[in-house]
């Protein structure tokens, strides 16, 4: 459906699961939300209320589909949700169900975004999957809801603004958090991150990209924290990141 409105991607990570709570890597394991995860999914729906969505796409995994349904964006409510296989989580292969500490004990120095996991998707494969999805999303317009996962969502954001998969490790993405991928000045050659890792209960004006309690625009340089620690952003990317890209704190799991 064409709306003749600028493309705006509302990227939502699924709510809490038992494994996201324990810190276990959850790729293709199809586990449901906890009761707290269901509550947070409903809170996401409150935040998205009133936004007209031209498309609603969800990962085939049940934790993402549950979040979509509980947020009120399932079939029969506004745009009917559609299963999008490319929104599935990073396949962790042999590391499925393990914690980062367990993996590092077996493979010191390991980094998912650089090394991948044995018998799982490689960083090159996950990057190609994100690029494939982005190419199809760019053909759409209007507001698009994407219900996905922690690791794939981070890769999708990095690739949206032209960064390599390895730099996705700097984009923390909590359960039931909302991010917005858009264009600066609605120019397709200027992809930007308008909102990042905003919690389900945070007061935020999604239409203007402003905090409810803040009168100034929330626009910051992409992964500013990383830059301050000595990193460099490719000049060709020129990304911009809004709210919380710089000050998000680590959580137990980013799956």
**SS3 of residue 69 by DSSP:** helix
Instruction: Answer for the pair 254, 26: CB distance below 8 angstroms, yes or no.
Output: no
Q: CA-to-CA distance for 206 and 208, rounded, in angstroms?
A: 6
Q: Which of 16, 38, 84, 89 is catalytic?
A: 89
Q: Which two tokens stand for residue 165?
A: 């998969």
Tokens 């969505």 map to which residue? 53
| Sequential DSSP letters for 46-59 | HHHTT--EEEEEE-
Establish whether 14 is a catalytic residue: yes
Q: Which of 230, 224, 231 is nearest to 245 (CA)?
A: 224
Q: Which of 58, 53, 75 is nearest to 15 (CA)?
A: 58
Q: Which of 124, 63, 120 is nearest to 253 (CA)?
A: 63
Q: CA-to-CA distance for 224 and 245, rounded, in angstroms?
A: 7
Establish whether 89 is a catalytic residue: yes
**Residues with Cβ < 8 Å from 77, sequence gap 6 or more?**
none
Question: How much of the chain is in helix, strand and coil states, percent to nearest 5?
Answer: 35, 20, 50
Q: Which of 14, 55, 170, 243 is catalytic?
A: 14
Q: Which two tokens stand for residue 33?
A: 């939300």
Q: CA-to-CA distance for 184 and 160, rounded, in angstroms?
A: 12
Instruction: Answer for the pair 155, 133: CB distance below 8 angstroms, yes or no.
Output: no
As annotated, the active-site residues are 14, 89
């Amino acid at each position: 459906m064409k709306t003749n409105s600028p493309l705006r991607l509302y990227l939502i990570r699924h709510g809490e699961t038992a494994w996201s709570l324990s810190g276990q890597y959850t790729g293709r394991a199809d586990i449901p939300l906890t009761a707290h995860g269901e509550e947070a999914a409903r809170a996401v729906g409150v935040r998205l209320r009133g936004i007209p969505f031209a498309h609603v796409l969800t990962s085939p995994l049940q934790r993402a589909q549950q979040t979509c349904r509980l947020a009120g964006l399932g079939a029969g409510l506004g745009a009917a949700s559609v299963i999008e296989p490319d929104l599935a989580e990073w396949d962790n292969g042999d590391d499925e169900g393990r914690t980062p500490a367990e993996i590092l004990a077996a493979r010191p120095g390991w980094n998912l975004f650089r090394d991948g996991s044995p018998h799982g998707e490689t960083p090159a494969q996950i990057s190609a999957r994100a690029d494939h999805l982005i190419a199809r999303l760019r053909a759409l317009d209007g507001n698009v809801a994407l219900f996905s996962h922690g690791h794939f969502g981070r890769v999708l954001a990095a690739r949206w603004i032209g960064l390599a998969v390895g730099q996705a490790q700097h984009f923390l993405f909590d359960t039931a958090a909302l991010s917005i991928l858009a264009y600066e000045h609605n120019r397709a050659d200027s992809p930007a991150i308008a909102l990042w890792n905003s919690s389900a209960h945070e007061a935020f004006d999604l239409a203007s990209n402003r905090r409810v309690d803040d009168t100034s625009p929330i626009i910051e340089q992409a992964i500013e924290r990383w830059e301050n620690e000595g990193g460099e952003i490719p000049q060709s990317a020129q990304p911009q990141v809004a709210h919380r890209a710089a000050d998000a704190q680590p959580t137990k799991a980013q799956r």
